[in-house]
């Protein structure tokens, strides 16, 4: 194993692997201020229609704006959480959201401005800590102690609004909640 080989990546079969000899990292500038928000809506708060609309705007919205959607079963309902990072300030983000996704009903009180590195704490759900916690490489309770597996999928064709409604209904009935308005 010479200097030129950085690491091996397991291939498609148990005995094969690829050797990475070179890679390129492109750095981009992060603005001094980024804006974040997390908004959660239940089925009773129009979550189904918001998920439906999100499919149509998430991939076309401003290139400096990332809107992630998390669906979570709540207590007798489903919750849709919209978690956002915007590379810019509150005023610009509010204008974009009012134009592109007014159904969320946002105001500046939802937004938090911070540095990009501070936003990493927000996305890791580390509260009341300084960014120095990111330098701690030893697992402890909370940050870094558990395992997490995530999956990202991209909508190739938006589903009709009836699909999430049926999905909520099926899952809520499976949980034994009986008939609920979805």
Domain that holds residue 44: 34-132+155-171
* Ordered DSSP codes for 20-74: E--------PPPS-EEEEEEEEEGGGTHHHHHHHHHHHTTTS-TTEEEEEEEEE-
- How many domains, in total, are found in the chain? 1
State yes or no: pLDDT of 25 exceeds 50.
yes
161 within a domain of the structure (yes/no): yes
99 within a domain of the structure (yes/no): yes
pLDDT digits 0-9 by tens, 36-66? 999 999 988 999 999 999 998 988 899 999 9
pLDDT digits 0-9 by tens, 70-88? 888 767 778 899 999 999 9
Burial of 54 (0-12, 13-18, 19+ CB in 10 A): buried
147 within a domain of the structure (yes/no): no
125 within a domain of the structure (yes/no): yes
Q: How far apart are CA 139 and CA 142, in angstroms?
A: 8
pLDDT for 153 equals: 65
More confident call, 33 vs 165: 33
47 within a domain of the structure (yes/no): yes
148 within a domain of the structure (yes/no): no
Q: How far apart are CA 68 and CA 111, in angstroms?
A: 15
State yes or no: pLDDT of 154 exceeds 60.
yes
pLDDT for 165 equals: 85
Q: How far apart are CA 65 and CA 74, in angstroms?
A: 27
180 within a domain of the structure (yes/no): no
Domain containing residue 114: CATH number: 3.40.462.20
State yes or no: pLDDT of 91 exceeds 90.
yes
CB 53 within 8 A of CB 101: yes
- Per the prediction, the chain carries an average pLDDT of 80
29 within a domain of the structure (yes/no): no
* pTM greater than the 0.75 cutoff: no
* Ordered DSSP codes for 64-122: TEEEEEEEEE-SSSEEEEEEEEESS-HHHHHHHHHHH-GGG---GGG-EEE-HHHHHHH
State yes or no: pLDDT of 147 exceeds 80.
no
């Amino acid at each position: 194993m010479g200097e030129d080989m950085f690491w091996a990546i397991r291939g498609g079969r148990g005995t094969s692997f690829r050797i990475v000899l070179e890679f390129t990292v492109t750095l981009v500038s992060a603005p001094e201020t980024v804006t974040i928000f997390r908004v959660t809506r239940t089925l009773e708060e129009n979550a189904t229609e918001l998920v439906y609309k999100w499919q149509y705007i998430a991939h076309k919205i401003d290139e400096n704006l990332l809107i992630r959607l998390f669906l979570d079963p709540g207590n007798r309902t489903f919750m849709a959480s919209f978690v956002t990072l915007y590379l810019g300030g509150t005023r610009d983000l509010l204008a974009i959201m009012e134009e592109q996704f007014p159904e969320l009903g946002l105001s500046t009180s939802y937004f938090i401005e911070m540095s990009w590195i501070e936003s990493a704490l927000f996305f890791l759900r580390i509260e009341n800590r300084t960014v120095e916690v990111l330098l701690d490489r030893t697992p402890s309770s909370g940050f870094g102690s558990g395992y997490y597996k995530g999956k990202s999928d991209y909508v190739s064709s938006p589903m009709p609004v009836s699909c999430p409604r049926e999905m909520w209904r099926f899952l809520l009935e499976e949980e034994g909640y009986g008939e609920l308005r979805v």
